[in-house]
Amino acid sequence: MRDRLSAYQMKRRAGNRAGSRTMRIVLALTVFVILLPVIVTMIWTVTGRWPWPSMLPQSYTMRTLQELFSGSSPLYEILWGSVIIATVVAILGTLIALMTARATEIYRIRGRRLVSWAAMLPLIVPGTVFAMGIQVILIRMGLGDTVTGVILVHLVAALPYCVFIMTDITAAVGNSLEEQAQLLGAGPGRAFFDVSVPQLMPGILSSASMAYIISYSQYFTTLLAGGGKVKTLALVMVPYIQSGDRALSSVYAVTFVGSALLVFFIFEALIHRIMRTES
């Protein structure tokens, strides 16, 4: 019996090893395909001449970087605008999602199924359809071509993810500790901020970083709600792509991804720090 079992185990281990090897190859290929275009685009940012059919550029230049900083609308202004909008969307989206999650998970309001369907709605209705439908309404509200209007449509795009994340973590954290704090004499506000908020922090940060990235990436909704007057990085780079200037569009692409990743990793580092101090 013992021998048979170990024979089983040996067979399984051998199978496991072969399976793991295949899976490692799958992962290696995945990472290669993901990183290849990133690397090629980074090379393009400093490319002067890269004629067909050479595999590497024939000359390098700093022209693109100069144009990036001295173009018609200076980069730092556009970057600043995008960062402000995305930060506001991150804060508002997470706050609204936290409030919604408290209402459904802690107060157990009626119609929770309705809330979860409503949260899905912006994923079901394509962003293009929503943007063309809301434009006239924003104009009538006096929000056409304004930063506020752009923030509102970005919020709609980001909120589903914020609500999913905040609902999950609020349900997991619950409110028993908060109730205990209240029994021990803490006011409801203090019980929430001192007891629950630290526990919710990983969710709050991942919701905020998700909302930030989504807002930062919006093109069509920004174009319609902002009427081309509210300029973000996603908006100003499109004409360069359309013009076929690969070097210049690459430099915008790298700036874009670099600045988004920077924010993303700051959030990730914060989440890790909190997780570590908690455990």
Partner 1 sequence: MKRNRIVPLLLITPFALITALVLAAIINIIVQSLGYMPVFGLYDFTLKYYIEELSRPEVLQSLGVSLHVALFSSVLAAILGTLICAALVRTGRTRGAMLYAVRLPILVPHTVVAVFTVALLAQTGLLARLAFALGLAGDYTEFPMLLYGKGYWGVILAYLWKEAPFIAYFSLALMANVSETLGEAAENLGASPLKSFFHITLPLSLPAIARGFIIVFIFAFGGYELPMLLGATMPKAFPVYTYIEFIKPDFKLRPYAMAMNGITLILSLLMALLYAVLMNRLMKRIGGAYEG
| Residue 71 and residue 231 in contact, taking contact as beta carbons nearer than 8 Å | no
> Tokens 């994923």 belong to which residue?
123
- Provide the token pair at 191: 């019980």
- Provide the token pair at 105: 């998970």
- In whole angstroms, the minimum distance from the beta carbon of 193 to partner 1 comes to 15
- In whole angstroms, the minimum distance from the beta carbon of 66 to partner 1 comes to 19
The closest of 75, 68, 85 to 230, measured between CA atoms, is: 85
Question: What's the CA gap between 124 and 9, in Å, rounded?
Answer: 47
Question: What's the CA gap between 173 and 190, in Å, rounded?
Answer: 17
If the CB atoms of residues 104 and 201 are measured against partner 1, the closer one turns out to be 104
- Provide the token pair at 157: 């795009």
| Residue 160 and residue 123 in contact, taking contact as beta carbons nearer than 8 Å | yes
If the CB atoms of residues 201 and 253 are measured against partner 1, the closer one turns out to be 253
If the CB atoms of residues 201 and 235 are measured against partner 1, the closer one turns out to be 235
- In whole angstroms, the minimum distance from the beta carbon of 222 to partner 1 comes to 11
- In whole angstroms, the minimum distance from the beta carbon of 200 to partner 1 comes to 14
If the CB atoms of residues 102 and 146 are measured against partner 1, the closer one turns out to be 102
